[in-house]
Amino acid sequence: MKTRYTYGGDEHIYIEMDDEMSLDAFFKSLSMSNAVREANIKGVTEICPANASFQVRFDPDVIAPDEMMAKIKELEHRAENAEKRLTTRIIEIPVYYQDPWTHETLMRFRERHQDPSGTDLDYAARINGFDSVEAFIEAHHSQPWFVSMVGFVAGLPFLYQLVEREKQLQVPKYLRPRTDTPKQTVGYGGCFSCIYSVRGAGGYQMFGVTPMPIFDPKQKQSYLSDFMVFFKPGDIVKWKPIDRAEYDRILTEVEADTYVPRIAEVEFDLDAFNADMPGTNAKLMEALNVA
């Protein structure tokens, strides 16, 4: 697909690398948005990356929209020669699947769901061809996930599963959004998993909850002392299933501001990943074991 440029009102330009999410499109978008940032174009006030696109906000009193558009287009060659290697981090995120809080919530909103007779996990397992909820949960946490963007609400990561496209889990959103979702719910919509950083409305299927805060405007947590939002695009996540006892233990550490997530620095090479996905994933996850 040819890169598409559109205006967003008087102060924004939207650049779409592809109309569907892929790691190739992500890296092209990342390279080009970095190029815009490095160019220090006078008048640019903000650059917001997304899954396979990004948006530039600018001051039209400093630079005219058509001039801004032209300067961005001049940088498209950076996307065509996108760097496909990334020094990043893999993070272990504990998840209490089938927890009582998301279960209570989802049962309050069954009339908005495709399958009012079961749970979100029952539905997800069935439409993805799994014989049991446990098998679906295994598929959800057994391979790592790539954070392709952060947003929608403050600190919420969109996570793309690092497996062959035909093996990716897919679950549609609720028919009508809920008016409530517990804080730190692990959700799923389309081909993206996410973590709801705050309590609020939502339409993603609910699979569990993590005790690990990912957004802390008071910056009390030690690992959020530098910035209130934990995730950034390019992070890699490995879900770790936990039970109620482990959930409570971690929550105690969180409340005492002593919890430290398991993190390891890794190199992600897109060409190596495409050539050997299982091998690349195994190396990524092994990095957590030696961290």
| Residues facing 178 on adjacent strands | 202
Query: Would the pTM count as exceeding 0.85?
Result: yes
Residues 118 and 155 in one domain: yes
User: 54, 82, 110 — which closes off a domain?
Assistant: 82
Dihedral sign for Cα atoms in the order 145, 150, 153, 154: positive
The Cα 241–Cα 181 span in angstroms is 20
Residues 35 and 22 in one domain: yes
Residue 115 CA, chain-centre distance (Å), reads: 26
Residues 54 and 159 in one domain: no
CATH value at residue 177: 2.40.100.10
Residues 126 and 238 in one domain: yes
Residues 77 and 37 in one domain: yes
pLDDT score, position 1: 57
User: 53, 82, 111 — which closes off a domain?
Assistant: 82
Cβ(266)–Cβ(230) under 8 Å? Answer: no
Dihedral sign for Cα atoms in the order 248, 188, 163, 123: positive
pLDDT score, position 131: 97
Residues 6+ apart with CB under 8 A from 194: 156, 157, 158, 159, 186, 187, 188, 204
* Domains in the chain, number: 2
Residues 36 and 134 in one domain: no
Q: What is the pLDDT of residues 78-96, one digit of tens each?
A: 777 778 899 999 999 999 9
The Cα 101–Cα 136 span in angstroms is 20
CATH value at residue 50: 3.30.1360.40
Residues 11 and 106 in one domain: no
The Cα 120–Cα 108 span in angstroms is 12
Residues 145 and 214 in one domain: yes
Tell me which residue range forms the domain holding 54: 4-82
Q: What residues in the chain have per-residue pLDDT under 70?
A: 1, 291
Residue 194 CA, chain-centre distance (Å), reads: 6
pLDDT score, position 282: 96
Tokens of 283: 């190396």
Residues 75 and 139 in one domain: no
The DSSP result for 130-163, as a single string, is -SSHHHHHHHHHSS-EEEEEE-SSTTPEEEEE-S
The Cα 35–Cα 42 span in angstroms is 14
Residues 165 and 102 in one domain: yes
pLDDT score, position 50: 87
Residues 137 and 75 in one domain: no
Residues 105 and 198 in one domain: yes
pLDDT score, position 49: 87
User: 82, 103, 122 — which closes off a domain?
Assistant: 82
Burial (CB count <10 Å: 0-12, 13-18, 19+), residue 190: middle
pLDDT score, position 106: 97
